[in-house]
Amino acid sequence: MNSLWDTPSCSLFAKRVANEIWQGKIVLVFLPAHAPQGFLTKLKIELSKGEDILYAKFDLSECDSTETKPVESLLHNHYLLDKNNETYIYKKASSIFSSVNCELCQILVFEKLSEFLLPKFKEFLIELGRYLAGIPEVNRHKILVVIDPNKCRFDDFPAESGIIKFKFEGIVDKLDLALSIRYFFGSNKQNQNPLFESIIISLSKFDLNLSEKLWESNNILENYNQKLQQFAESNKWQDIKFKNQDQLTETEKWQLWALGILDRIDGTTIYHSAFLKIHNKQNELDKCLWLSGLQILLPLIEEFRMKIISSKNLQFPRWHKNGKTGEVTENKEDFEIGDICFMLNISKIKTYNMSAFEKLKLKAFISLCRDIRNDISHLRMSEANKNLQFFADKESVELILEDR
C-alpha cells in the first residue's frame, strides 16, 4: 500500500471510475469529507495501462460569472481558440471540442464547481455529452468532473446518455480499515495489538482518515475519547445539531454525508464516532469497545483456558461442584475459567515444575482472565489497565504451562 486509496474497496471504486472514463463517458464523482485524500493520484495509476497519463485541470471557480457561457469562455481562453483570426470558433461545447485535439492519454478534469455556476455548467455538460455520443469512443475526449457534495447534489445533474455519476458512499468496509491500520504499522509498530486494531476498526466505522488519527494514540483504550473529541472539534461538528437517523430527511442525510458525518454500511445509516462523541452519545461508543472485547478477548481467553486444561504441569481433580449453582462437572475440559481460578486458589489443582513466583503469576493471570470474561459477559468492557495487563503477561504465563 502506498495510500489509503490502495485498500481493496477504494481501489475498486477508482478502477470503476477509470473504466468509464476510458469508455468515453463524462464521469461525475462526488467525494465527501471522509473520502481519502489523493483520489486523482490513484485514478492516474488506474488509468495508465502502460501509458503516461496527463491531467488538464480546469478550475471552475475562475469562470467569469458575467459571461453568458462562462465554462465555454474558460475553455476558449485556455485553448487560445481566437488566436487564428481566419477562423471563428463559436463558444459552444461542440465547437470547442471539435477544434481541440483528442489526446488518448489526456484527461480533462473539472474541479471546484460552485452553486452559482451549476445551471450553466449543466447546460454545458448536456451539450458536450450529446456531441461526444455522436463520435466513436476512441475519438472522444476523456472528461472527469470532481464535485464537492457540499456545493451540488447527486440529482442536480441529469441522467443523460453519456454522463455517469459516482458517489463515494458505502464504500469502506472492515477489510479496508484493517489494511489501513497495517499500513500505519510501519511508523508505529509498538501499537500492534489485536485489541487496539479491533477497537480502531469499530470506532472508525467508515472513515479511513479517522483510523489514522486513532492509530497515532499510544494507548487507544485510554485516549480514544480525547482523539474523537479532537477530530470532531477540528471539523466544527459541535455546531451541527444531532438527530436520530430515522428522523433525518433525505436532504439532511445528503448534507451530513457530504460533511463526513454519516455514511451507509450494509444499507444502514451510521453516524461517525466523533460526531457521537461530541454529542455525548457515550453508550454508542461503549458498545463499539464491548464488541471489540467480545471479538478479540473472549477467544483468546478460551484459547488460554484450553492450554491450562492440556498442561502437564497441572493436575486437576476428578470433579468440581460450582459453589453458586451446585452443578457438578466431571470432565475437566468443561471447567470454566472461574472454576479453574477457584480450584487453583484452594489448591484443588496441583502444580508441578513451577516456582512459587510462577505459581503466583499463573494464579494472578487466571484471575485476570476471569474478571475480563465476567465484564464482557455483562455487556461492558474491562478497565484499560486490565486489558493492557492481559497482553503484557499472556506470553510469559503461557511459557509456565509448557512441558519442561
Together in a domain, 32 and 123: yes
pLDDT of residue 269: 92
In the structure grid, which three cell numbers stand for residue 276, read together?
Answer: 457521537
Same-domain check for residues 246 and 219: yes
Domain tally for the chain? Answer: 3
Q: Is the dihedral of CA 249, 255, 258, 262 positive or negative?
A: negative
Domain endpoint, select from 108, 142, 167: 167
Cβ contacts of 189 within 8 Å, gap of 6 or more: none
Same domain assignment for residues 138 and 221: no
Q: Does the structure show a pLDDT above 70 at 151?
A: yes
**Of 117, 136, 167, at which residue does a domain stop?**
167
pLDDT of 94: 85
Region 129-139: what's the mean pLDDT? 88
Do 9 and 111 fall within a single domain? yes
Q: Are residues 266 and 309 in the same domain?
A: no
309-362 pLDDT per residue, tens: 999 999 988 887 776 766 777 788 888 899 899 889 988 999 998 999 999 999
Which domain-ending residue is among 255, 280, 305? 280
Overall size of the chain counted in residues: 404
State whether 183 and 39 are in the same domain.
no
86 φ, ψ (degrees, to nearest 5): -80, -15
Residues of the chain with pLDDT > 70, as a percent, come to: 95
pLDDT higher than threshold 60 for residue 82: yes
- Is residue 296 located within the same domain as residue 391? yes
What CA–CA distance (Å, rounded) separates 302 from 257?
Answer: 40
Q: Which three cell numbers stand for residue 180?
A: 489501513
Question: Do 361 and 304 share a structural domain?
Answer: yes
What mean pLDDT is reported for the chain? 89
Q: Is residue 276 domain-shared with residue 155, that is, in the same domain?
A: no
The answer on pLDDT for 218 being more than 80 is: no
Burial (Cβ within 10 Å: 0-12, 13-18, ≥19) of residue 65: exposed
d(Cα 128, Cα 297) in Å, to the nearest integer? 58
Which residues have a Cβ under 8 Å from the Cβ of 198 and sit 6 or more positions away? 292, 295, 296
Q: How far is C-alpha 399 from the geometric centre of its chain's CA atoms?
A: 37
**pLDDT average, residue stretch 297-310:** 95
- Note the pLDDT tens digit of each residue in 258-276: 999 999 988 889 999 999 9
Tell me the residue range of the domain where 86 lies: 4-167
Are 196 and 128 in a shared domain? no
What CATH number does residue 43 fall under? 3.40.50
**Are 306 and 393 within one domain?**
yes
**pLDDT grade, residue 292 (50/70/90)?**
very high
Q: Are residues 40 and 138 in the same domain?
A: yes
